[in-house]
Amino acid sequence: MTPSDPPLKMQALFEAQRAAFAREPYPTWETRRDRLQRLRKLLTENERALETAIDRDFGHRPAIETQLGEIFPSLQEIKAALRDGRSWMKPRHAPVSKWFLPARGKLIPKPLGVIGIIVPWNYPVFLAVGPMVGALAAGNRVMLKLSEHTPAFSECFAQLAARYFAADEVAVVRGDADVAASFSSLPFDHLLFTGSTAVGKTVMAAAAKNLTPVTLELGGKSPTVIAPDYPLRRAVTRILAGKLLNAGQTCIAPDYVLVPRAKVESFVEEARAQAARMYPDGLASDDYCSTINERHYRRLCGYLDQAKAAGARVEPLFAGATRDDAGRRLAPALIVDPPPHLAAMQEEIFGPLLPLVAYDRVEDAVAFIARQPRPLALYWFDRNEKRVQWALRNTVAGGVSVNDTLLHIAQDALPFGGIGPSGMGHYHGRWGFDTFSKLKPVFRQAHVNAMGLFLPPYRPLARRVLELMKRF
């Protein structure tokens, strides 16, 4: 069982961080750089320990997937902040209206204070470190609430955080949903939550009591569209790469695929062949990840059972066994032309199941997406640039990758975030720095200025000048 931190301990940690921030409300770049370098050392000096802890929590997760999906992108985030953080801190020029010249305007990035980050279980390193980078670069203190579903990782990371940081710089909280509720109720200066839409509503409601601003990184059903003339094998290769990483337990994994009706059977054949190339030993492949826990494994099995009972066609992609209950491994499977009422079509799948929805015209595919809640990600496979631009104008999503999957999240120059039911706000790179800063607007009046014209008692000249200003 994961140890829980009582509310009084959380409150004490929060007050200690707030007091420390009050003593140092604008850390120098040297201080911020030191914290980022210590965060980098935490990762690079303990990669094997983090891999091992996550593997224990999942039952089995390939070490290289932890490297690809967690360690590498976390280090890239830190690298970008160390490279550019000093420039992010600088005041930014802001023009003033011509009528107020020669006054000047600027924006001063100011640290907010104490940042709360609620970390999910599926990518516990990256979804802790990624937001931390922006928060620390911006000069803040950080409190992390780690998931109770990754107890080994949580214990490991809590010990490492205590080794590399003072508790008033970075503090880790562990515990269940009740602890998360207490954590969300603390009067943070900003709260970032990554997780489900349902829990996101609860977090936002708790934060609202303190008027705490929130960034919500939620999930949803991220669609994939294959254009009629796009090479099918290439599309299938990249779709399965994005879908089967971490056995589909990725918030931006392709959730369903819209396929030209005439190519559905070819997609099934290509997907089965590609799955065999990726995992030649099927469920026994060491490169295939387990489901995080029994509850989620049974949920996914229930999706398949419901689809079969409803008469939907289920196509397993591995030869031989399709389930390994002891190892919580579920073979990837396609659900072909699923009825819309299925749970797999209503809920975020978060596993290796992939519905295929046939379409006749690309306009129909876009209309289908428009009828669904706004997704966290959209994937569009197409070589027709005009049609790609049309699709980008006529769809709404938190982020888009064209002719690939997942990779928009790995770009530190692009903001990452959802929209509507898939989230609000964004971070990564400078966008994260800005999220965890107050861009304080400053207007500096010139010594010689015309404001005296508009003081009571108002003279006729004031009205004439105002009329002239309205014309230009």
Residue 356: its H or E element: strand 353-359
DSSP for 242-285? HHHGGGG--TTS--EEEEEGGGHHHHHHHHHHHHHHH-TTGGG-
pLDDT digits 0-9 by tens, 416-472:
999 999 999 999 999 999 999 999 999 999 999 999 999 999 999 999 999 999 998
- By the 8 A CB rule, do 352 and 339 touch? no
The tens-digit pLDDT sequence of the chain (472 residues) is 457 777 788 999 999 999 999 999 999 999 999 999 999 999 999 999 999 999 999 999 999 999 999 999 999 999 999 999 999 999 999 999 999 999 999 999 999 999 999 999 999 999 999 999 999 999 999 999 999 999 999 999 999 999 999 999 999 999 998 999 999 999 999 999 999 999 999 999 999 999 999 999 998 999 999 999 999 999 999 999 999 999 999 999 999 999 999 999 999 999 999 999 999 999 999 999 999 999 999 999 999 999 999 999 999 999 989 999 999 999 999 999 999 999 999 999 999 999 999 999 999 999 999 999 999 999 999 999 999 999 999 999 999 999 999 999 999 999 999 999 999 999 999 999 999 999 999 999 999 999 999 999 999 999 999 999 999 8
Instruction: Specify the DSSP class assigned to residue 427.
Output: B
pTM above 0.85, yes or no: yes
Measured CA angle at 287 (ends 284, 292), to 5 deg: 85
Domain segments of the chain: what residues? Answer: 7-218+421-440, 223-417
Q: Which two tokens stand for residue 51?
A: 């891999």
Q: Of 51, 70, 169, 217, which is the active-site residue? A: 217
Dist. CA 172–CA 185, nearest whole Å: 16
Class for the domain spanning 7-218+421-440: alpha beta
Q: Spell out a b/e string for 128-162, using b for 16 or more CB atoms within 10 Å of the CB, else e.
A: bbbbbbbbbbbbbbbbbbbbbbbbbbbbbbbebbe
Sign, Cα dihedral of 290, 294, 295, 298: positive
Q: What is the pLDDT of residue 419?
A: 96
Dist. CA 245–CA 257, nearest whole Å: 16
152 to 3, 58, 105, 270, 371: CA distances (angstroms): 11, 10, 50, 38, 41
Q: What is the pLDDT of residue 454?
A: 92
Dist. CA 41–CA 34, nearest whole Å: 10
- By the 8 A CB rule, do 71 and 43 touch? yes
- By the 8 A CB rule, do 314 and 268 touch? no
Look up 217 and say whether it is catalytic: yes
Q: Which two tokens stand for residue 193?
A: 């939550």
Dist. CA 248–CA 326, nearest whole Å: 19
Q: Of 251, 289, 301, 348, which is the active-site residue? A: 251
Sign, Cα dihedral of 136, 140, 143, 147: negative
Q: What is the pLDDT of residue 2?
A: 56
Q: Which two tokens stand for residue 411?
A: 């770009």
Number of other residues whose CB lies within 10 A of the CB of residue 447: 6
Look up 70 and say whether it is catalytic: no
pLDDT digits 0-9 by tens, 2-38:
577 777 889 999 999 999 999 999 999 999 999 999 9
| Exposure of 390 in the CB half-sphere (CA atoms within 13 A) | 12
By DSSP bridging, strand 333-336 and strand 353-359 are parallel
- By the 8 A CB rule, do 375 and 220 touch? yes
Q: What is the pLDDT of residue 1?
A: 41
CATH superfamily membership of 223-417: Aldehyde Dehydrogenase; Chain A, domain 2 (3.40.309.10)
Dist. CA 435–CA 93, nearest whole Å: 19
Measured CA angle at 427 (ends 426, 431), to 5 deg: 105
For residue 321, report the phi and psi dihedrals to the nearest 5 degrees: -65, 140
10 Å CB burial of residue 325 (0-12, 13-18, 19+) is exposed
Number of other residues whose CB lies within 10 A of the CB of residue 414: 15
10 Å CB burial of residue 371 (0-12, 13-18, 19+) is exposed
CA 450 to chain centre: 49
* Cβ within 8 Å of residue 389, ≥6 positions away: none
The residues pairing with 257 across neighbouring beta strands, listed in sequence order, are 224, 356
